[in-house]
Each structure stands twice: as C-alpha cells, then as structure tokens.
Copies of this chain bind each other. A is one copy, B any other.
Amino acid sequence: MILPLLLTLAMQSPVVAAPAAADATKSVTPSSVVASAPASAWVDVPADRLLVMELAGGRRVTIALSPDFAGPHVANIVALARAHWWDGTSINRVQDNYVTQWGDATEAKPLPAGIKAPARDYDRPAAGLAFRAMPYRDSYAAAVGHVGGWAVAEDGGRAWLPHCYGMVGVGRNLAPDTGTGAELYVAIGHSPRQLDRNIAVVGRVLAGMEAMAALPRGTGDLGFYTDPAQRTGIVRVRLMSELPAGERQVWQVMDSRAPAFADWIRVKANRKDDFYERPAAGLDICNALPPVRVRP
C-alpha cells in the first residue's frame, strides 16, 4: 500500500483518513495556531503599499512593499505603478533555483520624470525597530527575527530584509547604485542570502508565487529567455488602492508582537505531531515569513 501522503505545514485538511490519523490526538501545528489566532493578531497592510500585477492569462500576483526598508526604492516603485509604467512589459528571465525577473525587455522605455536610481539602501539602522529576535542560529546574520509583519536580519546595529523565497528585490547593474526599481526580481529557489546587503530588497510576494515560480526556465545566460515569445506579458501593475472597489482585497499580516505569533514560531521550530517525530529545535528565518491572509 503506497499512500502518496506527505503532510506539510500548509495542510488544511487530511488527504486520506488513515487509521493512524483517526486514532491520534489532534495535533497543534503551525496551521492550527494561525487558524485560531484572534483578530487582534492581524494587521492590515495599507492598500497603497500593495502592488497588484496582472499577468497575461489572468494570473494575479500581490506584492507588499516595505517602506521601512529601502524607502527610496519603494518610493520609486510606487511612482512607477502610479504611472502605469510596467503595463505592457514582461517577465524576461527565470533562472532555476534563483530568480524570476521582470521589467522592460527593450531596456529603452523611458522612465517617468524624476525617477532616478537612489543611493544604496540595502540596510538601515536597527535602532528604532521593534525587533523580536528568534532564539535560533542563522548562517548569515548575528540575529534574525521579525519587525511588524516582516522577517528581518540584524548584525552590527544594522537591519535588513533577508533574500528569502518570495522576497522581491531591485535588479541592478554592476555598480551598486544602478537600480531604479523598474527592474524587479523575486527569489524562487533556496533563498540566495549571499545577496543580502548587496542589493535592495523592497517587498514580498503575498500571493501568486505559484505563478512566478512555475514559469519555464530561460535557456540563455542567467536564465534570460532567448526567444521573445517565451516571455510572459505583464498586462498591468497597479497599487491596490487604485484598483476599482470591486477588485480590491484587504490583506493582513500576523503581527510579530502578537502572542499568537510567538506561539506560531515556537510550534514551527518544535514540530511534534502526527507526522513529525523529531522536533527540529531550530528555524530558518526563510521558513518563518509571517503568515498572511485576506481579511475575512
């Protein structure tokens, strides 16, 4: 008997009613902690800090922007969205286990007046942030934890958004101050943390990653598509606040100051339930991006 069952963090309902599951005490899991969190554990993401990207074929990708990190780049991105600059551009690069990247494939589309590449804003002072460190080691930073609804790394008094799966960054040329925000990418494989503090991270995909990560890989250098027909068109990119009322969604993120959030971290780091025999007693920050949901 070969049951194709591999229980996961994201499980919402059992696939098969295996006898073992029927007999077991109901487990506390990360999902169950999220499901039972009170309304007070959730905070709304402002609608003018949400980008909604509509791809050819109708798939929708929702991205939260992080004004507290990479503020100048985020300001550019908001301005580009208000100018409808990405409409008609495309996804031009998909490199396996690395990034999906989008923007103007011609490299010739003029930017709106006033959009310039900011000075590097790859990290910021940790002072002033309500940083809640996790008690687990990280391979790249002295401490990792959360600020509000964001995963954050900290070292030497500086804080930054780590390059986790689903995080969005600003493509740039070799010189560090060459990224305007018009060219963006999202991490689609094991998190490329070596990019931390070498490039600006500006946000996180809240929904639609399955559209970005499942695209055919490009066969050119760096995963660029060699045939323009392989590109996925971007129909439009809008701020959520500028969508017609009927198309808007209110997104929420679990607040790292909420007691439910601390429970969620603890349970995630110490899974022992119907499936997990041996708790990890550890948690990678990129496996601990705060839960999000559409406001019920």
Report which A residues bind B (CB closer than 8 A). 1-15, 18, 20-21, 24, 92-99, 101, 103-105, 107, 109, 111, 122, 136-141, 164-166, 171-176, 178, 180, 182-183, 185, 188-194, 196-199, 209-210, 213-217, 221-222, 224, 268, 271, 274-278, 280-287
Which residue of chain B is the closest to A275 with respect to CB atoms?
B174
17 extra A-B contacts, CB within 8 A, seeds A193-B282, A198-B276, A214-B216:
A4-B105, A5-B174, A6-B93, A6-B99, A7-B222, A11-B222, A20-B173, A96-B214, A97-B166, A139-B282, A176-B277, A190-B191, A190-B284, A193-B284, A194-B268, A198-B275, A198-B277
Residues of B close to A282: CB separation below 8 A: 138-141, 193
Instruction: Tell me if A7 and B96 are in contact (CB < 8 A).
Output: no
Cα separation A101 to B8 with both chains bound (whole Å): 13
Cα separation A21 to B173 with both chains bound (whole Å): 9
Given A97-B209, A221-B11, A180-B2 contact (CB < 8 Å): yes
Residues of B close to A287: CB separation below 8 A: 190, 192-194
Residues of B close to A185: CB separation below 8 A: 6
Instruction: Tell me if A139 and B140 are in contact (CB < 8 A).
Output: no
Residues of B close to A276: CB separation below 8 A: 194, 198
Residues of B close to A96: CB separation below 8 A: 209-210, 213-214
Instruction: Tell me if A10 and B139 are in contact (CB < 8 A).
Output: no
Name the one of B5, B94, B105, B213 contacting A97, with C-beta atoms under 8 angstroms: B213
Residues of B close to A164: CB separation below 8 A: 190
Enumerate 18 A-B pairs (CB-CB under 8 Å) in ascending A order.
Answer: A1-B107, A2-B183, A3-B183, A4-B93, A4-B171, A5-B171, A6-B171, A6-B199, A10-B95, A15-B224, A138-B282, A164-B190, A174-B274, A174-B275, A190-B287, A193-B284, A194-B276, A198-B277
Instruction: Tell me if B173 and A222 are in contact (CB < 8 A).
Output: no
Number of copies: 2
Residues of B close to A5: CB separation below 8 A: 171-174, 222
Instruction: State the Cβ distance, A93 to closest chain B Cβ, in Å.
Output: 6
Instruction: Tell me if B4 and A103 are in contact (CB < 8 A).
Output: yes
Instruction: State the Cβ distance, A117 to closest chain B Cβ, in Å.
Output: 9
Cα separation A183 to B190 with both chains bound (whole Å): 23
Which are the 9 A-B pairs with shortest beta-carbon distances? Answer: A165-B190, A210-B217, A20-B174, A140-B282, A96-B210, A139-B284, A137-B137, A3-B173, A139-B282
